[in-house]
Amino acid sequence: MFRFRREVYLDNNATTKVDKKVVKAVDYVLRNCYGNPSSLYKDARNSAEKLEESRLKVAETINADPHEIFFTGSASEANNAILKSVSGHFYPARKKIVSTPIEHASVMNTLEFLKTQGMQVEYIHVDSRGRILPDKLEDMIDDNTCLVCCMLANNEIGTVQDIQRVSRLARKHDVLVMSDCVQALGKVHVDVKDLGIDYASFSAHKIHGPKGVGALFVKHGRPFTPLIHGGHQEQGLRAGTESLHNIAGLATACSNIEEMLSQSQRVLQLKNLFVEELGKIKTDMVVNSPEEACLPNTVNITLPRVNNAVLMAMLDYNGISVSAGSACNTQDDKPSHVLKAIGLSDQATRETIRFSLSTDTSEQDIKYVVKILEEYFEGNQVPVSIITPRQLDEDLLFNDDTYILDVRFWYDREILKGLPNSHEASFVSIKKYVDVIPRDKNILVVCQMGYGAAVIAYYLVSEHFKNVSFLLSGMVGWKLSNGELYRKYAGKNIEKLRPGSLLQS
Ligand code: PLP
């Protein structure tokens, strides 16, 4: 039966579609503002003016003063800069940072690094919805504490924390507060003065702006030393010629914030509709996001007995983009630290999926996704076979009809050797390999964790390959279950495929 196929993007917490006005603003700057803002002649002054206009817009959006805004290459950089700067300033007099276990990787990994440099980090407990108990926080603050680090809104489950309360408690003890506001901006009201915070980070690509630009808020008078040394750009606190087109793109995206906020009720209604409809067709689903104090666009759901790698790939096959965790986690071999912190078992983390809507999402989009999911739960979607690590034994590995397609990234291949007799192709440009993959064999797609392989398996089905399967849990799972086979055969007789379209040229 022919059915209209939609493209539905429900991964807006990973990144957002660039707004048309932003594209125009970026294009304008690239064409017209090529002068270096640090120089003095007319073209440079033009650029410097654009830079200052942009700073003013970003500051106004979050109720900061323009001199409290510094542009960075990303929010990850902003988070690194704040944490390293504050630690450096207080160390060794005050060594402790109190944070939450559900921060973004750019905070978590920086904190873990700072521990190796002599800092102490304590993580406050979160409940099953990711909420911290501010009173518990107060118990953890002592004379040794220099910073409380708590995100305003979580990227995976959407929990919005009571940062005003956190700031009040921290201030009582003369402790500074940083808040990662990346996911909150454009979805809930963000006013750095109201929040009472000392430092905050923002990212353009989460608000329909360009990738590769962020903003850092440092409250006037708060300690800050540069992460990147060099020229005197950004008041000498962030060296490097400014990425003016991206900065102008960020400012233009900020000019849409009011409009985005005015639509948050509509987005929330669509999310609620989705949860309600999904609940009817999968009655045992568990919503991990809080009902109250949650981002209007975000819902994180566990679907018992539904593998999220397969589900994500099946949805992709149907034109629907969702994520099984944060974008930063999908290439990692560990379960999401956020889902673990809220108490999910390893098994449940593999059955959990995040849907993140945007102001572009329509009711038709939601209905389409529900319909596809319903068909899938009823067994009426294109099947891709799953091979578990245990099933992949010598018989299957060395079967003449089996064609093993390894789509791992080169850095994953450095960590784990490939299956014997496997054929290496590129995950991102798999299209170029379609002509060289045999159509008369049983294709077994393999990646490091199982997620990418599921997507490619569905892709091959869409290219009319028959008998396609993928290895659940990938090479990581296979090595764990078959240590002896791995030692005996891994890395043997591997062929690097050459893309067909390149061969023709
Ligand atoms: N903080 C949060 C909460 C995020 O969701 C992200 C992006 O996923 C970041 C920080 C990092 O932002 P960027 O991609 O600009 O480094």
What CATH code is assigned to 385-504?
Answer: 3.40.250.10
- Residues 80 and 149: their CA atoms lie apart, in Å, by 12
Ligand 1 atom closest to Cα of residue 212:
15
Q: What is the pLDDT of residue 505?
A: 41
**Can you tell me which atom of ligand 1 is nearest the CA of 13?**
5
| CB distance 336 to ligand 1 below 6 Å | no
pTM: 0.93
Residue nearest to atom 12 of ligand 1 (CA): 75
How much is the pLDDT for 44? 86
Question: What is the DSSP secondary-structure string of 381-400?
Answer: S---EEE-TTT--HHHHT-T
CB-ligand 1 contact for 397 (6 Å cutoff): no
pLDDT at residue 4, rounded to an integer = 66
The ligand 1 atom nearest the CA atom of 77:
16
CATH entry, 8-14+264-377, from 3.40.50.300, 3.40.50.920, 3.90.1150.10, 3.30.420.110:
3.90.1150.10
Determine contact, residues 160/153, Cβ cutoff 8 Å.
yes
Residues of the chain falling short of pLDDT 70: 1-4, 325-333, 501-505
> Please, what is the Cα angle at 453 between 391 and 409, to 5 degrees?
120
Measure 81 CA to ligand 1 centroid, in angstroms: 14
- Nearest 10 degrees: Cα torsion 488, 491, 493, 494: 150
CATH of domain 20-255: 3.40.640.10
The C-alpha torsion from 258 through 259 and 260 to 262, rounded to 10°, is 90
Ligand 1 center from residue 469 Cα (angstroms): 34
pLDDT, residue 359, reads 97
Ligand 1 centre to CA of 176 (Å) is 21
444 close to 421: Cβ distance less than 8 angstroms: no
Q: What is the pLDDT of residue 502?
A: 52
CA of 15 to the centre of ligand 1 (A): 9
User: Is 104 close to ligand 1, i.e. is its CB under 6 Å away?
Assistant: yes
Q: What is the DSSP-derived secondary structure letter of residue 95?
A: -
CA atoms within 13 A on the CB side of 284: 7
* pLDDT for 329: 45
d(CA 154, ligand 1 centre) in Å: 10
Break the chain into its structural domains and give their ranges: 8-14+264-377, 20-255, 385-504
Residue 328 annotated in active site: yes
180 in ligand 1 pocket by Cβ < 6 Å? yes
454 and 384 Cβ atoms separated by less than 8 Å: yes
Nearest Cα residue to 253 out of 99, 26, 462, 434: 26
> Ligand 1 pocket check: which of 77, 103, 183 to mutate, most ligand atoms within 8 Å of Cβ?
183
Which listed residue (150, 181, 328, 447) is catalytic?
A: 328
Taking the CA of residue 103 as reference, the ligand 1 atom at the shortest distance is: 3
Closest to 306 (Cα-Cα) out of 353, 338, 265: 353
